[in-house]
Amino acid sequence: MSRLHEPPQKFAQGWLTELDGRTGIAQVMRQRYEALTNDLGGVSQLSYAQRSLVERSLWLEYWLSQQEQALASGAEFDVGKWVQAANSLQGILTKLGLQRVAREVPDLAEYLKARSEK
């Protein structure tokens, strides 16, 4: 099975895991996934729906940047599709929440006790 060298032209669930990790775009997208999920309290705290929305938001962000690069180079640009995608991204990010969420951290005594019991 061959790995993707860039995000697919059309969204497909699981696209992020299909990216070839040796490519720069895969590394950037995985860093963005980690940053966004960390802002939401950590991937382990997120529901399936939230993780799905994170993946969709990253794909839309990538698609929007591709369209903006096309516009900058004088290639064909569909402003209607761009606006629709930008509004969709805004809606997803709003649904996820734009504020950082603190991770729950055990107090030091609990951590040390758990560690000494191992």
Quick: pLDDT tens for 64-97: 999 999 999 999 999 999 999 999 999 999 999 8
State the number of CA atoms in the 13 A half-sphere of 53 facing the CB: 19
Quick: pLDDT tens for 22-54: 989 899 999 999 999 999 989 999 999 999 999
Phi and psi, residue 58, nearest 5°: -65, -40
State the number of CA atoms in the 13 A half-sphere of 40 facing the CB: 21
Residue 58: both structure tokens together: 């990253």
CA distance 13 to 54: 11
CA distance 20 to 40: 26
